[in-house]
Each structure stands twice: as C-alpha cells, then as structure tokens.
C-alpha cells in the first residue's frame, strides 16, 4: 500500500533534523532546496518537498530514497555524503573551486568529521588561495584562504610559506601605493575599465607571472627627451623558441629610445642608460625613476612596424631590491603616430630576471584615447611608472624585447574598438570605487575582513559589466563578520550623506539587514545604522550621517573629525548566516 501524505510527513520529520533535511534536499531535490529561505521552519520545508513530489508524481521515489538511506549499515558513510564527495571531486577536477567550496561548506555542517569531505574541502580552499595569489593577485582573499587552510592543518602543502609571502606583499603594497592625499576627487571623465588579469606561463628560464589591472590614467605624453649610450661588445643573441618572431630591442645598440615625464612636475623623472651586466652576459637597459606625485616613462620607437604576423610581446625584467621593487608598472603600445593607445599593467617583478609574456589580446583601452584597433603602423612601446602604482622611486632593468607568433597571429579588433560611452565624473568625493581591483582605497587606507572563526568573510574584487571592479563580500557566519576600510583620520564634518551602490546574490543569500559602522578615537567611539531592502539589483543607498546612532555598548561619535574606520557588518540574527553582497562607489555628499 502506498504511504499517505501524513505517513511521508511523519517519516521525514522523524528521520531528518532541520539541517539534515536541507542537506537531503540539496543533494536530491535542488529545486526544492533553492526555494528554502533563511529561518524557514522545518515543517514548511517538508510541506514544500511533499508538494514538489506530488506535482511530479515522484512520491514513491521519495519514499524509496528515504528507505535506502535508512537501510545503510552502521559505520557506512551516509549516502548523501557519498554523493557530495563524488560531485565535489568532479567539480574540483575541472577547477570549479567556488562551487566546490560552496557544496562542501554545506556538507561539513551536515556530515561532521567525514574524512573525504574534509580532505576535499582542504584541497579546494588551498587551490583557491593559490588562484587568488598567483592568478588574480588578490592578496586579501589569498590571505584569508591560506589562514583557513592552516586553521585546519598548519602544515598543509606550502600554505605556511605562501601565507608568509602574501603578508609580505601586503605590507610592501601598503608602503609604496598609499597616495598622499587624504581624499581625492575624480577630476576628468574617464572610461571605467578596471580589469584584473593575471596569466602565468612556463617559459625557458622559469615561470613568468603576469598581472594586469587597468585604472583611469592620464593619456598625454610630452615630447620625450633622448639619451644615447655607446654599446659594448654584443653578446650571443637570445633566440625565442617559436618559429616566427621579431626583435624589438636587445639594447646592444641604444638607439631611438628615451625618457618622458610631465613638463609641470619637475619632481618626476627617469634616467636610463644601456649598461653591461654579468648576469645577462651583455648589455641591458637600466631605468632609474623618481615619481613623487605623477609618472615617468621609458619609450622605444617602433618606426611604423607591422606586428600583425605576431600575437605576443615578451621581454625580460628585474628590479633592484635595495632601491625598492615596484609592485606594478604600465606597458603601453601606441599606433598611428601615438594617436591610438592600448595598455596593460604588469606585476611580479623581483630582484631576479624573469621573462614576461603579454598576449596582444590582453591589451586594453583606457581614458578617452582610441585603442589600437590594428597592428600595423606601430609607433611606440612605453614602460610607464606611476607614483600610486610603482612607488615613488625604483630601478628596473630590461632586456631582450621581442614580438612572437605563439598562436594564430594578431587578434582581430574587438568590441573595445567600438567607442564606449564615457561616464561623467562623480560629483561627490570618492572613498572607494574598487576600480584598482585591489585592497587600497582612495584615502590610501587598506581594506579587509574581520570575523571570529569559524565565522568567515572573503572579500574579492571582481569585474562587473559597465562598472569596472566592484567589491564582492561572501560571508558564512554564526555570529558576525565585517568588511572594513581605514579612513586615515579623514574629516567627514563637511559632508551630509554616505552614499554607496549595493546588490546581493539571491542564490547565495540576500541579507535582510546590514549594519554600517563609523569609528574614531582608537575604536572607542562607534556609531551605527542598519540598512535594509537590499535586492538582487544594483541600487544606490543614501544614508544621512546624522542618522548614525549609538551601539548601546561603546560611546557614540563625539565628532566627525579624525575618522578611523568604516565597516559593513553582517550579523547572523539580522543578515542571515550565509550571503553574498556587492559594493561599489562608496562616496560622500556635501
């Protein structure tokens, strides 16, 4: 006899706890699971499951599945856990790390101390940390991933060494990239084309790590000055391994190259010379730059060269750690008398020689200058050092610059050749718009996550069409977690409103409320406000500073001067235990 609806309801009620029921539906009835909401009672979940099966005529299958789970022998891994392991392993094999971790986080709550689930979770988090560090150069997210790995296993793989390297890079980045201005306005209309791309390739001589990140930049290049240095005895020529290539410069002859800097910024300069070095067995370009508040550049004339047979630019570079190894620099290719320009930002220079590989299709437009949109009539190759990206001084050595054919030749002009509408500059002072795709705001302050384990929050900076980079905040909490940004003692008293753009991911959880905190006086004074009605669509929230009130625990703000920190906080009892929120364009209004 077929069981009645009441029998099925009783079977589900007795067999599953609330968490077990959610996991059961996640494993076998994903459509039902996706209809569950935070805080939904167990009885309501059971009703949704039963109605789902009745509509599809699969009630008998539901009963058979429950009986199969009940019939497993003692000590046997739960069937649901076996399915999770198989699904997670398949996703891990194809590097679908975010989905793998999401599945395993849910499974860890249900199947505690399951060895296979723990093994896969540890491997997935570790791999995601490596991806954040090596492929995306997202240092805050990499730090969080390696910290989580070491909380589970302090000696797992290379996590301790990688965490130490990430911490070192974060310290160095904060030292060399903090701008001097406390609060800046975006001065001119620019195309918001923030991009963070990292590529790494195994090459002759080692592993090359390439990173790029586009930001609004100046497009004017003054008439360059030229310095010529006699060459030394040529060494044996470096030869690429590909069949088709063309040498751009090996610096055995220092001709048609020079330096440039802003005419109205005398504290910015670049001196170069072609000098013999032992570790390259020949002559290299030695670039010594100082950029107190702007930029300086090294240019090489290309004399209308045709790069259309090629698809990749390669070169060797290293820094000088005694003078400061720069975190990033800009590479520019110019065409048609410098009237067309495309750029890429590169990271990864150390005090050892490393070959960089730049596929042409990773070059991007910037500002209001037309992009290359072709590969003939190439006019100039430029290495540019900017104070907010490269630090205020440093030394870089270059050698063996080539264009090579590693694929099908130069890419066809893409969508970037269609002029994009340039947005108007923001009318309000901007604290952070995340277009640098990194954890430093416009005040020069770092940004990061705070929580008490096992709670977590991972902040990443991801591309959003039409916006550039935005901040993505994924939280999993039992109590709280927060995304904070240092305000560097800024004075907020001239302003009336805090303004920001926000949306949430409905599949991963939309918070009912989110707390915003303002702090000063070494964190002894804190005022807060809760915002609600967060949706899956972008919307602008405008919060009067006068509406911030006391916490009931610490003293409220006594003034809006010398502000130290702005935090976006998620609390389990108000925001739910899991969710993803995106932030953009955090600014102030008079």
Give yes or no for residue 235 having a pLDDT over 50: no
Mean pLDDT over all residues of the chain?
Answer: 79
Tens-digit pLDDT profile for residues 92-144: 888 788 888 888 887 776 666 678 888 888 899 999 888 887 777 777 788 88
More confident residue, 544 or 350: 544
Q: What is the average pLDDT across 282-296?
A: 89
Q: 165, 163, 138, 135: which is closest to 150 by C-alpha?
A: 163
Map 107-147 to HEC letters. Answer: HHHHCCCCHHHHHHHHHHHHHHHHHHHHHCCCHHHHHHHHH
Q: What is the average pLDDT across 160-189?
A: 56
Least confident of 11-15, 171-175, 430-434, 468-472: 171-175
Give yes or no for residue 36 having a pLDDT over 60: yes
More confident residue, 401 or 166: 401
- Quick check: pTM over 0.85? no
More confident residue, 541 or 7: 541
Predicted pLDDT at 209: 32
CATH of 430-589, one of 3.20.20.80, 1.10.3720.10, 2.60.120.430, 1.10.10.10: 2.60.120.430
Query: How far apart are the C-alpha atoms of 468 and 488, rounded to whole Å?
Result: 25
8 A C-beta contact, residue 385 and residue 329: yes
The b-or-e profile of 58-89 (16+ CB within 10 A means b, else e) is: ebeebbebbeebeeeeeeeebbbbbebbebbe
Predicted pLDDT at 483: 95
Predicted pLDDT at 231: 34
Cα end-to-end distance, the chain, whole Å = 73
Predicted pLDDT at 553: 84
- From the number of C-beta atoms within 10 Å of its C-beta (0-12, 13-18, 19+), residue 112 rates as exposed
More confident residue, 502 or 554: 502
Q: What is the average pLDDT across 502-511?
A: 92
Q: Which residue has the tokens 């954040």?
A: 132
- The count of residues in the chain is 590
Give yes or no for residue 238 having a pLDDT over 80: no
Give yes or no for residue 216 having a pLDDT over 80: no
3-class state of residue 5 by DSSP: helix
Q: How far from the centroid of its chain's Cα atoms is residue 424's Cα?
A: 25
Predicted pLDDT at 2: 67
Q: Measured between alpha carbons, how far is residue 316 from residues 202, 204, 381, 490, 563 in Å?
A: 14, 11, 15, 42, 44
More confident residue, 463 or 580: 580
Query: How far apart are the C-alpha atoms of 3 and 67, rounded to whole Å?
Result: 12
Q: Which residue has the tokens 């384990």?
A: 453
Q: 124, 184, 202: which is closest to 156 by C-alpha?
A: 124
Tens-digit pLDDT profile for residues 291-320: 888 899 999 999 999 999 999 999 999 998
Predicted pLDDT at 79: 47
| DSSP assignment string, 146-157 | HHHHHHH-TTST
Give yes or no for residue 556 having a pLDDT over 80: yes
Give yes or no for residue 332 having a pLDDT over 90: yes
Residue range(s) in the chain whose domain bears CATH number 2.60.120.430: 203-417, 430-589
Give yes or no for residue 53 having a pLDDT over 80: yes
Q: What whole-number percentage of the chain has pLDDT above 90?
A: 28
Q: What is the average pLDDT across 407-432?
A: 60
Query: How far apart are the C-alpha atoms of 195 and 468, rounded to whole Å?
Result: 7
8 A C-beta contact, residue 328 and residue 311: no
Query: How far apart are the C-alpha atoms of 547 and 109, rounded to whole Å?
Result: 39
Predicted pLDDT at 111: 65
Q: What is the average pLDDT across 488-510?
A: 92
Least confident of 37-41, 145-149, 280-284: 37-41
Q: How far from the centroid of its chain's Cα atoms is residue 175's Cα?
A: 19
Give yes or no for residue 9 having a pLDDT over 90: no
**In which band, very low, low, confident or very high, does the pLDDT at 239 lie, cut at 50, 70 and 90?**
low
Least confident of 66-70, 186-190, 231-235, 296-300: 186-190
Q: What is the CA radius of gyration of the chain?
A: 28
Give yes or no for residue 378 having a pLDDT over 50: yes
Predicted pLDDT at 283: 87
Q: What is the average pLDDT across 53-59?
A: 83
Give yes or no for residue 474 having a pLDDT over 80: yes
Instruction: Write down the architecture of domain 203-417 according to CATH.
Output: Sandwich (2.60)
Backbone angles phi, psi at 86, to 5 degrees: -65, -45
Give yes or no for residue 477 having a pLDDT over 50: yes
More confident residue, 136 or 476: 476
Predicted pLDDT at 438: 78
| DSSP assignment string, 23-92 | HHHHHH-HHHHHH--TT--HHHHHHHHHHHHHHHT-HHHHHHHHHHHHTPPTTSPPHHHHHHHHHHHHHH
Predicted pLDDT at 192: 27
Give yes or no for residue 572 having a pLDDT over 50: yes
């Amino acid at each position: 006899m077929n069981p009645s609806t009441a029998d099925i309801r009783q079977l589900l009620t007795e067999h599953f706890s609330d968490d077990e029921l959610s996991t059961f539906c996640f494993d076998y009835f994903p459509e039902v699971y996706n209809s569950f909401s935070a805080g939904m009672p167990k009885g309501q979940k059971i009703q949704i499951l039963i109605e789902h099966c009745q509509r599809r005529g699969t009630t008998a299958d539901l009963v058979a599945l429950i009986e199969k789970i009940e019939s497993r022998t003692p000590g046997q891994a739960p069937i649901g856990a076996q399915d999770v392991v198989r699904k997670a392993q398949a996703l891990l094999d194809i590097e679908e790390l975010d989905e793998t971790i999401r599945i395993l986080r849910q499974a860890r709550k249900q199947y505690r101390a399951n060895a296979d689930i723990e093994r896969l979770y540890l491997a997935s988090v570790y791999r995601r940390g490596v991806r954040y560090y090596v492929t995306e150069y997202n240092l805050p997210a990499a730090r969080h991933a390696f910290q989580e790995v070491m909380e589970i296993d302090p000696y797992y793989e290379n996590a301790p060494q990688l965490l130490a390297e990430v911490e070192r890079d974060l310290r160095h980045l904060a030292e060399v990239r903090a701008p001097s201005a406390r609060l800046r306005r975006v001065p001119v209309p620019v195309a918001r084309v923030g991009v963070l791309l990292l590529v790494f390739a195994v090459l002759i001589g080692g592993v090359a790590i390439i990173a790029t990140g586009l930001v609004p930049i100046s497009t004017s290049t003054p008439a360059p000055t030229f310095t010529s240095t006699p060459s030394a005895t040529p060494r044996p020529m470096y030869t690429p391994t590909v069949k088709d290539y063309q040498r751009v410069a090996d610096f055995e002859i220092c001709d048609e190259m020079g330096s440039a800097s802003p005419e109205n910024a005398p504290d910015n300069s670049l001196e170069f010379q072609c000098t013999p070095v032992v570790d390259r067995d020949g002559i290299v370009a030695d670039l010594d730059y100082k950029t107190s508040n702007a930029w300086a550049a090294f240019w090489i004339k290309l004399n209308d060269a045709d790069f259309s047979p090629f698809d990749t630019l390669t070169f060797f570079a290293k820094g000088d750690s005694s003078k400061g190894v720069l975190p990033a620099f800009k590479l520019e290719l110019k065409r048609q008398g410098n009237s067309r320009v495309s750029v890429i930002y590169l990271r990864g220079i150390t005090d050892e020689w490393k070959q960089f590989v730049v596929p042409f299709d990773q070059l991007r437009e910037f500002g209001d200058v037309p992009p290359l949109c072709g590969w003939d009539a190439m006019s100039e190759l430029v290495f540019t050092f900017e104070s907010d990206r490269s630090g205020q001084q440093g030394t870089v050595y270059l050698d063996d610059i080539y264009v090579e054919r590693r694929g099908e030749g130069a890419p066809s002009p893409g969508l970037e050749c269609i002029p994009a509408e340039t947005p108007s500059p923001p009318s309000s002072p901007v604290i952070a718009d995340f277009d640098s795709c990194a954890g430093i705001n416009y005040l020069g302050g770092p940004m990061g996550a705070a929580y008490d384990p096992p709670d977590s929050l991972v902040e990443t900076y991801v591309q959003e069409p039409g916006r550039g980079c935005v901040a993505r905040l994924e939280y999993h909490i039992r109590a709280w977690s927060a995304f904070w940004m240092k305000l560097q003692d800024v004075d907020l008293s001239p302003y009336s409103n805090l303004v920001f753009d926000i949306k949430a991911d409905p599949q991963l959880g939309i918070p009912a409320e989110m707390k915003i905190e303002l702090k000063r006086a070494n964190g002894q004074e804190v005022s807060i406000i809760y915002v609600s009605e967060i949706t899956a669509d972008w919307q602008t929230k405008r919060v009067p500073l006068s509406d911030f009130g006391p916490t009931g625990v610490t003293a409220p703000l006594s003034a809006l001067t010398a502000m130290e920190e702005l935090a976006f906080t998620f609390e389990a009892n108000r925001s739910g235990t899991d969710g993803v929120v995106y932030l953009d364009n955090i600014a102030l209004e008079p």
